[in-house]
Chain A
């Protein structure tokens, strides 16, 4: 709880009580993007307060991409546009069908679908292509697309920070609809995702994520928060999945914790779809008819949701030992701790519970339809107004000491995650030792000439050395041509040039002859 209280008070202290309306953008207005623009102005005091926070970066972690706009028309390739785009480019995708996988291994690219007469850009994998969109860059936005027919994921992020995935329709697409993995500071909102054999929206091993206003249905899992921290799942419509909203610690992953998750104001109904998860997948063990499933996750707040007509139970809280299809991980803490169930509107859940739950009820001599079931050795959990619900296994739950999370607007960062700052001198040393020394020793020949020879050639001319390493030409007939080091970027190339020209023989020289 300490972490959360700290975060909470920080947010209050910095006055970041913004919401997602009322933001003003000054984008180039070639085509009005659906997520941008103005909201109606209001003299309402509350709105005025919100407007005063309009400068906050909350709802646009990916920032702006206004250096250039590239328009892709049907018949052209989105990937080709990405390849030639420099960071800061918005790629506008015109309506039409595109059969391709788009991968983005650079920063600050915004892929924005353009509407025409209600028509969207449609990415269709035709049951043959793997993923629709894969990104590893930071500050990536993906908006307004229709994605269908891919075997893998609709939109997948791998370690990209500051992402925005908004207003996409993803249908009948492989394993996950939207899956940002290993990222920090991102928003997933206003997407409609259905027919997914695992989770429609899956936040994996990430931090500071906001999942709101999505419609997820006809999938095995609606929204899954897995091995992630500081996440809010709110205002989503979660219907007819096998399980509605999941907060998991899945064992066997390199990041081991889930905590500080708020699940609030969601409509979670009729999640009774037969489980069609791949055999052996984690979600294949989810009993159909489970509204919210907390497995081993800590500090999960469940608040103000409407949870109805989920036949197994409304909220199921389990440890690893009592979950199906879960491996063993000595480094993973298996119990859900400090779960807080606040007020929720629960109706007609648990009318057909699985046999294990029936057994637990029999042990407690409970009758009726179970709204909330808990099976674990976890501690520190609480529940508010418990007489609202039929509960099983909640004997250890205390009465919650707080009643709402209204003062936590978002866990998104006030300013986007910045690239790591390394001083030029250190940058030069890192590049020299990490790269150059593989081919150049200080005073002897390795693959390339010695540093001493290079120093003699360029002793007062780091610019010349930068020019050479960016555009090497074959100079010495008896040496192989050097590959270009332009990928290091201008700053690092200059830093390493300066470093190389002053370095003394303190680090690697020609290997010892013995």
Chain B
């Protein structure tokens, strides 16, 4: 019964692939090649080392940093990060990432909410998961997630492998079960072959998590115009952008105290008191994760890299424009925080009293953090035969 359904579904899916490819450059008339070999080469930005491990290479490795923590000014080394996956694991992760076979009803892939064309977000205040249900929070970008020690808005995961289980098995997101995930992948002969190329022991839950981790850890964005400036090309930014940078790092705006270069996050949790969207219960965030009242309403500090592509902003899409999100910090400490149940607001949340022009300049500067040169290829065909995002 199961395989029959799958077979029917596959045929339909293949049919829709060929339909959807009409008028595009791809010639997707054929099925996923049975003899496909996973890439033997690392993605851009990585060096293939002798043990078949891809190691990150970045100009920031030419520098050092205080206590090796990777936070600071312009020429500062990177914090610790995940790398060392094999080219095959990264490539397999790429297929899995775009394949909705991972969800319970096979309609949602990772890329549904982490769409590469929106800098791996979905443009929604709260993502839409299984059966059209809204999730609880906004989908964060995946660029540079290799550097994060806290994953999920509420810092409830410490590794990719732990984090990925949240969307896979949440009823509001991909609504799968571990058993069904394994079974559905094992039912696809091509996946059995591909997993064997990437892992000696083939399809296991651990290997699914690992290859998704491998792909996410390959999404590196460190070559923006800002980075060129930081490495020493002071003409990479224009006068307005530099003025914005100086406001950004000034101790009036204090943006860089938490959105600290080079990653534009300090990997910490902050309580900032954003306005709660209407008709939504108050989101306690990290209070639950750490069982700490002081962290009520606390969320991880997100990176600002590619921030201009990832509206709406904050954990529940509380602001629709980057300017609004920026202006929030100028409206007074706790102006939107609940009055009846006070928050322990972060000490840098104050009243900087920036001018309207200064807020514009901050937005101008943040746009210089765009860089998607290492954008991975979106697969045109998937091993499951399901339709890749178009």
B274 lies within 8 A of chain A by Cβ: no
Partner of A134, one of B48, B249, B346, B373: B249
Residue from A257, A447, A508 having most chain B Cβ neighbours under 10 A: A508
B228–A130 CB distance below 8 A: no
- Interface residues of B, count at CB 8 A: 79
CB distance from A88 to the nearest CB of B (A): 15
Contact B232 A430, beta carbon cutoff 8 Å = no
Determine the distance from Cα of A439 to Cα of B371 in the docked complex, in whole angstroms: 12
Contact between B223 and A438, CB atoms less than 8 A apart: yes
1/0 per residue, CB under 8 A from A, across B203-232: the answer is 000000000000000000011000011111
- Among the listed stretches A25-33, A53-61, A64-72, A174-182, which one makes contact with chain B, having 4 or more residues with CB under 8 Å of it? A174-182
Assembly CA distance A201 to B86 (angstroms): 49
Q: Are A255 and B69 in contact (CB under 8 A)?
A: yes
Q: How far is the CA of A53 from the CA of B231 in the complex (A)?
A: 37
With A159-B76, A207-B67, A253-B268 known as contacts, the answer to whether A434 contacts B233 (CB < 8 A) is no
- Is the CB–CB distance between A430 and B61 below 8 Å? yes
Residue of B nearest to A485 (CB): B233
- A255-B66, A422-B61, A434-B45 are known contacts. Are A131 and B251 too (CB-CB below 8 A)? yes
Which residues of chain B are within 8 angstroms of A508 by Cβ–Cβ distance? 41-46
B24 neighbours in A (Cβ, 8 Å):
none
Partner of B45, one of A184, A437, A484, A509: A437
Q: Which residues of A contact B371 (CB under 8 A)?
A: 438
- Does B163 touch A at the CB level, under 8 Å? no
User: B381 near A514 (CB under 8 angstroms)?
Assistant: yes
CB neighbours (8 Å) of B71 from chain A are 159, 182, 205, 254-255
- Taking CB atoms, residues of chain A closer than 8 Å to B292 are 328, 330
Does B73 sit at the interface, judged by CB under 8 A?
yes
Q: Is the CB of A431 within 8 A of B252?
A: no
Are A507 and B223 also in contact (CB < 8 A) when A159-B75, A254-B69, A255-B67 are?
A: no
Report A173 CB to chain B, min CB distance, Å: 10
- A354 part of interface (Cβ distance < 8 Å): no
Chain A residues with CB below 8 A from B242, complex form: 103
Q: With A105-B74, A430-B57, A512-B377 known to touch, is A438 a contact of B45 (CB < 8 Å)?
A: yes
Q: Does any Cβ of B come within 8 Å of A457's Cβ?
A: no
Question: Considering the chains assembled together, what is the distance between the CA atoms of A151 and B42 in angstroms?
Answer: 48
What string of 1s and 0s marks CB contacts (under 8 Å) between A428-454 and chain B?
011111110111010000010000000
A487's contact among B231, B271, B333, B350, by CB below 8 Å, is which? B231
Contact yes or no, B59 A131, CB < 8 A: no
CB-CB nearest in chain A for B37: A512
B63 neighbours in A (Cβ, 8 Å): 419-420
Chain A residues, CB < 8 A from B333: 279-280
B268 CB → nearest A CB, Å: 5
Decide if A429 touches B231 in the complex (CB within 8 Å).
Answer: no
Cβ-defined contact, B379 with A514, below 8 A: yes
Q: Which of B58-107 contact A (CB under 8 A)?
A: 58-67, 69, 71-77, 91
User: Which residues from 136 to 182 on chain A have a C-beta closer than 8 Å to any C-beta of chain B?
Assistant: 136-137, 151-153, 156-160, 174-176, 179, 181-182
**B331 within 8 A of partner (CB):** no
Query: Is B111 an interface residue, CB under 8 A from the partner?
Result: no
Given A206-B66, A430-B62, A488-B231, verify A136-B74 contact (CB < 8 Å).
yes
Q: Is the CB of B66 within 8 A of A430?
A: no
Q: Does A252 belong to the interface (CB within 8 Å)?
A: yes
A327 & B344 in contact (Cβ 8 Å cutoff): yes
Residues in chain B near residue A279, CB distance under 8 A: 333
Contact of B270 among A131, A174, A252 (CB under 8 A): A252
CA distance A137 to B73 in the complex (A): 8
Interface flag for A403 (CB, 8 Å): no
- Whether A439 touches B373, Cβ cut-off 8 Å, given contacts A136-B74, A327-B344, A514-B381, is yes
Interface class of chain B by DSSP: loop
Asked whether B167 is an interface residue with its Cβ less than 8 Å from the other chain, the reply is no
Which residue in A158, A420, A434, A492 is a CB contact (below 8 Å) of B58?
Answer: A434
CA distance A7 to B5 in the complex (A): 71
Q: Which residues of A contact B231 (CB under 8 A)?
A: 487-488
How many Å from the CB of B38 to the closest CB on chain A? 9
Q: B222 to A434, Cβ gap below 8 A?
A: yes
Q: How far is the CB of B370 from chain A (nearest CB, A)?
A: 13
* Contact, CB under 8 Å: A174 / B251: yes
Answer whether residue A404 sits at the interface, using C-beta atoms and an 8 A cutoff: no
Contact check, B233 vs A484: say whether CB atoms are below 8 A apart: yes
Asked whether B47 lies within 8 Å of A433 as measured between CB atoms, the reply is yes
Q: Closest residue of chain B to A156, judged by CB?
A: B251
Report if A395 contacts B (CB, 8 A): no
Chain A residues whose C-beta falls within 8 Å of the C-beta of B271 in the assembled complex? 327
Interface string of B231-252 (1 = CB under 8 A from A): 1111010000010001101111
Q: How far is the CA of A417 from the CA of B63 in the complex (A)?
A: 12
The reply on A489 being an interface residue by CB < 8 A is: yes
If the complex has contacts A437-B45, A438-B374, A507-B46, are A131 and B252 also in contact, measured as CB distance less than 8 A? yes
B69:A130 contact, CB within 8 angstroms: no
Per-position 1/0 for B347-390, Cβ under 8 A of A: 10110010000000000000000010110110111000000000
Asked whether A106 is an interface residue with its Cβ less than 8 Å from the other chain, the reply is yes
Which of A184, A279, A429, A487 has most chain B Cβ within 10 Å? A487
**Smallest CB-CB separation from B253: which chain A residue?**
A130
In the bound complex, how far is the Cα of B64 from the Cα of A67, in angstroms? 25
* Known A-B contacts A151-B252, A159-B73, A254-B268; A512 and B39 likewise in contact (beta carbons under 8 Å): yes
Task: Tell me whether B267 is interfacial, beta carbon within 8 Å.
Answer: yes
A182 with B72: CB separation less than 8 A: yes
Tell me if A456 is interfacial: C-beta within 8 Å of chain B.
Answer: no
Residue pair B234, A105 in contact (C-beta under 8 Å): yes
Q: Please tell me if A398 contacts chain B, counting CB pairs below 8 Å.
A: no
Closest 7 A-B residue pairs measured CB to CB?
A159-B72, A438-B373, A136-B73, A487-B233, A159-B73, A152-B251, A433-B57
Q: Which residues of B does A touch, CB under 8 Å?
A: 32-33, 36, 39, 41-48, 57-67, 69, 71-77, 91, 222-223, 228-234, 236, 242, 246-247, 249-253, 256, 260, 266-271, 290, 292, 294-295, 333-334, 344-347, 349-350, 353, 371, 373-374, 376-377, 379-381
